[in-house]
Structure 1
Amino acid sequence: MTIGVDLGGTKIKAGIEKNGSIIHQNTIFLRQKESLSATLSQLIDLIKPLTHYPATGIGIGVPSVVDTERGIVYNVANIPSWEKVALRDILEEEFNLPVFVNNDVNCFTLGEHRFGVAKDFDSVVGMTIGTGLGSGIIIDNQLYTGHNCGAGEIGMLPYRDHNFEYYACSNFFDGIHGTSALEASHAAVAGDKQALGLWSEFGVHLGCAIKAVMYVFDPEAIILGGSIAKAYPLFKAGMLEALNDFAYPQSLKRLKIMQSQDDTISLLGAAALVSQEVKVKV
């Protein structure tokens, strides 16, 4: 058994992984995010009940750049007090268990590769679509993080007058079009033509980001996760339309694009960081 933790900007999830499933899960909403001590206390209180299980270690995914060797996280998204936190040392001292820290999208991708829809592929890119657009990379069955745990930031690549993230995450709806992805999905399901057009346009932007992934990594599979990926049927056609001009059509025919099916997959991926079988390429 291992403990997996998914630290987000608004809430934290933690669970026990056993035989590829989460058997017990706790969730809390973050309070006093401007206070490092308060947020760390919440995190510790969330994990503590899970240490009553015979866990062999703790893996944690955070939305930030991570020094994976020292377990230090920097400038965690939407938690202003977490500018530089020696998270591994803090949690190892608290729980007397080995702790492994990595980026949250890397954990999502690792979870899909070890336990989810990507487990039959050797090379995978996971893309989470929500508040931002994040990516994680598996090459030859190993998680690739880059030298500074910054590999896979496809969303930061220049695109049009901004970058891919500007057009292919929640900002497309609330920042550009003055609505929300949830409102747009309800309207589209009800047959609203304007909303359907928005989703088609969103799909085109995401498709362009996927082309960038293909040109750089040429993976066997791309797995889409995150809150907006749940609307996959609404943007799929626009996404595929954008892929039509990909320069290598035979490569595109072999590519599998799939939607994540497991809401606990990021916890499973974080827990998998503990496994001695996981070797992180840099």
Structure 2
Amino acid sequence: MKKYGFGVDVGGTTCKIGLFDMSGVILEKWEIKTNTENNGASILDDVAASVLGKMEEKNIDKEDVQGIGLGVPGPVDNEGVVHKCVNLGWDVVNVEKELEEKTGLLVKAGNDANVAALGEMWQGGGKGYQNVVMVTLGTGVGGGIIVGGKIIAGANGAGGELGHIHMDDEETECCGCGRKGCLEQYASATGIVRMAKKKLQTETRTTKLTAFDPLTAKDIFDVAKEGDEVALELVDKLCTVLGTALANVAGVVDPEVFVIGGGVSRAGDILIEGIQKKYSEIVFQACRETKVTLATLGNDAGMYGCVKLLF
């Protein structure tokens, strides 16, 4: 029985690396800089050096290591090939093959949002369930779909791109993807701030939101919790749009639980209760009792999911 596994969550700024035992306990975690110079040519070399260095430091033999799970911010196909990863500068790279050659260890790779969902299912907010949809509310909206304990990556590795579900035909502004009316234009941290700025241009009621410069998503939720009418309407809009999107997702994959993570999730109950209320009102009857809950692993979710990939 192998004793250890490494989880490596590659981000645009840093790579988060964790040493785990195979029951899912994190023994040590650290970060290295993600060197995106020269189209990210040295990233896998740096990861290999860090992992092998830790094994030497801890006197861990290769025979005792299950492998390395790798999460990357882009689509990954079933052969471990990344198809364009703009944040890292990669075009088409077989990350599994290359990292295996550099380390002599088994490597399994997946999209970062998908592996975060897997981590939350294994040891986080979705623990105890096999059918989980994770939604990450940050600068944008990410997602991961797990059915029967397995990630649904899809034919192009784009399964779980929940942020680009179309929500509004009347939207005039463009999403980062180039289209208009995507979920992340309303349900992300930048989305709710965008809605607030638009609303405040014509708002005649007194609101505390005008006091903030710059205005953040946290400010909007904090003021809403104090009972500010305008802020409450903005939070309601976010929850309505997100609850509607999740109701549509439930009609396709019928999860046992929706796990909400990312920076916006720190708003807590006001967010979860709002999403649950709208979701329950409009979802197909058979899916009405599906739970909406908070993620619990924070920034470590990707590392946990990477290790779970090795199973």
Bin of the TM-score, shorter chain as denominator length: 0.7 to 0.9
* CA deviation vs aligned residue, 1:111-155 (integer Å, no higher than 9, x gap): 222222323223221222212222222222333222232222222
1:32–1:187 distance in 2 versus 1, CA, 3 Å: farther
Aligned mates of 2:163, 2:71 — CA distance in 1: 19
Q: Does 1:267 find its partner at 2:267?
A: no
User: Are 2:163 and 1:155 aligned?
Assistant: yes
Which residue matches 2:130? 122
Deviations 1:74-129 (A, max 9, x none): 222533x1122221122111111011111112111212222223232232212222
Task: Rate the CA distance shift 1:239–1:251 in 2: closer, same or farther, 3 A.
Answer: same
1:41-190 counterparts in 2 under 5 A? Answer: 41-52=45-56, 53=60, 54-69=64-79, 71-79=80-88, 81-160=89-168, 161=171, 162-177=181-196, 179-188=215-224
Look up the equivalent residue of 2:136 and give its one-letter code: T
Query: How many pairs does the alignment contain?
Result: 272
Asked if the contact 2:120–2:127 (Cα under 8 Å) also holds between the matched residues in 1, the reply is: yes
AA matched with 2:12: G
1:50-70 deviation digits (Å, cap 9, x = unpaired): 33334220001112111231x
CA deviations on 1:160-215 (whole Å, 9 max, x unpaired) are 03111222222313444453324434544566554444333222221122112111
Is the alpha carbon distance of 1:235 and 1:30 closer, same or farther for their aligned partners in structure 2, counting shifts above 3 Å? same
Distance in 2 separating the partners of 1:44 and 1:177: 45
Secondary structure of the 1:97 match is coil
Q: Which moved more, 1:92-101 or 1:158-167?
A: 158-167
Counterpart CA distance in 1 for 2:146 and 2:278 is 24
Matches within 5 A, 1:211-222: 211-222=247-258
What are structure 1's unaligned runs of at least 5 residues? 276-282
**Aligned-partner Cα distance in 1 for 2:110–2:186:** 26
| Distance in 2, Cα, partners of 1:183 & 1:34 | 39
Label 1:244 to 1:67 Cα distance change in 2 as closer, same or farther (>3 A).
Answer: closer
* Corresponding letter in the other structure for 1:169: S
Is contact 1:164-1:205 (8 Å) kept? yes
Contact 1:72–1:86 at 8 Å: present in 2 too? yes
Residue 238 of structure 1 is aligned with which of 268, 271, 274? 274
Call closer, same or farther: CA 1:232–1:212 in 2, change over 3 Å. Answer: farther
Q: Which residue of 1 aligns with 2:292?
A: 257
- Distance change (3 Å), C-alpha of 1:250 and 1:147: closer
Q: What TM-score do you get using the length of structure 2 for normalisation?
A: 0.78
204-213 vs 147-156, greater mean Cα deviation: 147-156
Query: Are the equivalent residues in 1 in contact too, given 2:132–2:256 (CA < 8 A)?
Result: yes
Aligned equivalents of 2:261, 2:116: Cα separation in 1: 8
Q: Which range moves more in the overlay, 93-102 or 176-185?
A: 176-185
- Candidates 15, 30, 35, aligned match of 1:12: 15
How far the C-alpha of 1:250 sits from its partner, in A, is 4.7
Tell whether the 8 Å contact from 1:167 to 1:202 is kept in structure 2 after alignment.
yes
Structure 2 Cα separation of the partners of residues 218 and 204 of structure 1: 19
Offset of 1:270 from its aligned partner? 0.4
TM (normalized to structure 1)?
A: 0.85
**Structure 2 residue ranges without an equivalent (≥5):** 172-180, 198-214
Q: 1:8, 1:90 → 2: CA distance?
A: 18
Matched, 1:226 2:234: no
The structure-2 alpha-carbon separation of the partners of 1:118 and 1:247, relative to structure 1 and needing over 3 Å to count, comes to closer
Kindly provide the amino acid, as one letter, of the partner of residue 99 in structure 2.
L
